[in-house]
Amino acid sequence: MEFIRVGDKLVSKDKLTRTVERILALRAAGSSQQEVAHKVGVDRTFISRLEALAEVRKGGSLAIIGFPLANKDELLRIAEENGVDYTFMMTDDQRWKFIHSLTGVELLNELMELITKLRYFDVVIMVGSDMRIRLAEALLGDKVVGVQLGESPIENDVYFPPERLRELILSVKGGEK
C-alpha cells in the first residue's frame, strides 16, 4: 500500500484509486451523481468535478501519435478507415532512423513543428511509454488521451491490438465515422 503525506494527513493512494473506480463504475452503470455521492459519502459536486477533470471531449478533430509499434501499418489503416485527421506512427527502427537522420537543430525544429501542428486538434491520442505520455500531456494539456505501451524506455516494437484502437477512436469521436 502506498501512502502520501499531505500536511498532517496520511492519504492512501490505493484507497483513493478504489474509491474513484467505484464512483466511475456506479456512474457507468447508470446511477445518478446524487445516488453515487450518497453511496460513497461525498458531495454530488465532487462527482461532477471528478467527471469534468477526466472528461475527453467527443467529436472534433483527432490526431494519433504512437511508437514503437510492431503493427504500425495495420493501425494506420484502422485510423484512416475511422476518419482520424492526422497520424504519426513509427516502429522502433523508424524512430531511431528518424532521430539519427537529423542534426540536433533539425530534430528540435521537427519536434516543434509537430507540437505546433498537434495543438490544433481537439483530441490527441498518444500511444507510447509512460514518460512520452507525460511529456505529451505537459506540452498539449488535457487534450491528450494516453495509452501506455509500457514503462520507459521501450526498446522494441510493441503490438497494439487494432480493435482496441478502433474502440478508442470511436469512443473519442462519439460513434461517428
108-156 residue pLDDT tens: 999 999 999 999 999 999 999 999 999 999 999 999 999 999 999 999 9
Give the CATH class of 62-173. Answer: alpha beta
68-85 residue pLDDT tens: 999 999 999 999 999 999
Q: Is 4 helix (H, G, I), strand (E, B) or coil?
A: strand
pTM check: above 0.85: no
Overall average pLDDT of the 58-75 stretch: 92
Q: CA-to-CA distance for 147 and 59, rounded, in angstroms?
A: 19
Statement: residue 30 has pLDDT above 80: yes
Surface-to-core class of residue 20, CB atoms within 10 Å of its CB (0-12 exposed, 13-18 middle, 19+ buried): middle
